[in-house]
Structure 1
Amino acid sequence: MIKLKLDSVNKQLGGARILRDVSLEIAAGEFVVFVGPSGCGKSTLLRLIAGLDSICGGDLLIDGRRVNDLEPRERGVGMVFQSYALYPHMSVYDNISFGLKLAKTEKTTLRERVLKTAQILQLDKLLQRKPKELSGGQRQRVAMGRAMAREPDILLFDEPLSNLDASLRVQMRNEIARLHARLGSTMIYVTHDQVEAMTLADKIVVLNGGRIEQVGSPRALYERPASRFVAGFLGSPRMNFLPAFLHTPGATSLVESLVLGMTSLPFDSSALAENTALTLGIRPEHVGLKAAQGSAGVTVTVTVVEYLGSETYVHLDTGQEEPLICRCEVNAGWQVGDRVELELAFDNLHLFAADGTALTRHPQTPPENVTLRSVRANAL
């Protein structure tokens, strides 16, 4: 069942277009996360759904009903803001019940909803405290409770954890995930934090410049990004990018030196002209290293080794502006100055056209790895 549908939604402020023809369907009970860089339009899109901003073009439907012109309270949505926005002179009970009082909810029903909400959020023993007596995580739960107590059809979250420290963000992230599992309600969550997006979402919506770049599960977007932008945005460290060209017989191009020629790769390049500029992408965990043996392999130098306890990131000088990063086991033993040869996990290579779109991948079973061979000494 489609709970919410955006049909070619546009938003303009002055002469600037904030959102451009955004179309999206969200099913009942889904947890959807909007991500993207600052200024991409994700918070604006959330405010349009909430009714806090007006839509300049297109339609917004909730349960099949067009709600463009409805007031926020008539849409059946609840919103949790980045700021707690709690009333400091009110108790937790009064903060949670404030919206219900404005709606003139019957007293017995009001009390039942507040107590039920407080129990779900583990605030039932804190109802008489004032906000100044609560921790940051507890204050955020109160803000969530105020939205939940109205029993909205859709819960909206606008970067609710950005004001918390790192440990509290992890705790609250887990609590929001458990809350969604318990309630089964439709939730839309805006964040700039890709970890929150990857761990919370059933479906991620990546926005860029007011447009949707890609929609899909966290795994689908991470493993098969539709564009270089998505590939670079999701993942930490981000995907490695190297310049490449279409392989032509006898050419000494970078892609030939990297992957034994374009003809061995599972990509559709039929629509591209020879020598078309491409970008080769590979994630750090799919880069393998071995000690240089003076063979025809591509040899690079270790410039930085980052020990992170559970894993090690090795930075490699490839002659490009950005280093190539490899994620290794902790005991890999690489040191700054080491000369190493590269291996790439064949099925995890990505190729992007000049406009940033990913080349279509053919469904075939490739060899497990490709050992890099150098056609010319300065290929990298």
Structure 2
Amino acid sequence: MKKNAIQTLVLGLLPAAFLAVSCSAPVESNIQKEAFGQLSSGEEVSIYTLSSSTGLKARIMDYGGAIVSLEVPDAQGELTDVTLGFDKLADYEKHRVFFGALIGRFGNRIAKGQFSIDGEDYQLATNDGPNHLHGGIMGYDRVLWTAEPVAHATEPGLRLTYFSADGEEGYPGNLEVTVTYTLKGNALEIAYEATTDKATPVNLTNHTFYNLAGEGNVLNHELTIAAPYYTPVDSTLIPTGELVEVAGTPFDFNSPYAIGARIADVPGGYDHNYVLAEGEGLRFAAKLKDPQSGRFMEIHTTEPGLQFYSGNFLDGTQSRGDRSYTIHTGLCLETQHFPDAPNQPNFPSTILRPGEKYESTTVMTFGVE
């Protein structure tokens, strides 16, 4: 197909608002849309490919708002997908492992699915043993978002919106959610916004599994987390309420450590919330590096916490192509407020009230050293 025909095809797939830009801005070349299949409900799912001027390429689908792949150049400019995901839409429906997905209304766990606001008790679904996890049975990873490309010549983006109705999964209040993915050179920014008409807990995040080598496991990856404390958990992974110093423990990543170096000293592997160093606005949270390729990722966030999950429950039943995802083949670094915050008065509040605006930003910057 000739170049002009390709451009015509791509332009025909974009909304009018996206096309209302200067003719000198070649935005049609850095955002493309394609069909990804049909859900069991019959709804059509699309993938949007964002390409930055530095070679970064993100493929994001409107089902679950999930990052399907994120290709990052190495020192020679060769692209490697540094995330875990599936080739087929049906696998995203079949395997709920949250690959790349947006998580809400409340990311992480709420003890027994219960909380109270202003004296009123609420009961959520318990979909993780006795607890509520990642928004319940039909969390935001299981819904079809409304997607709109964001026109920009050098910073392509995708705006996703979802209306979460009062009572959905047991949560109070109608919540209007907007998440915008933007490629900015070597960085991927995720900006979250939400408003409600009734007080409700809100804790939004993204659940991408990373492997900066693009193969093998992540035990040799070196991790740095700027956190003086972590929140220990009980046997069901609910925080005890304590803030414990990481110094002198296997949880101390204030200096870079190989993930596998001390994982045997953490029963079940890492699946813990880190209390990030205090500060205002975007601040450094973590750095992940693959020593073999030299590829690294730095995370900056406005959030007070970071969940480090070392892929403990990957069991080989999930795969992409000829690559099987077994234990520790990927890891998650989820920026967030603390787990079970609605029941922990000493944790930063996650209650959003009418007239307030939930805002959160996380930026992942990639490079080679």
TM-score normalised by the chain length of structure 2: 0.25
Higher Cα radius of gyration: 1
Kindly indicate which of the two structures has a greater share of residues assigned to helix.
1
Give TM-score, length-normalised by structure 1. Answer: 0.24
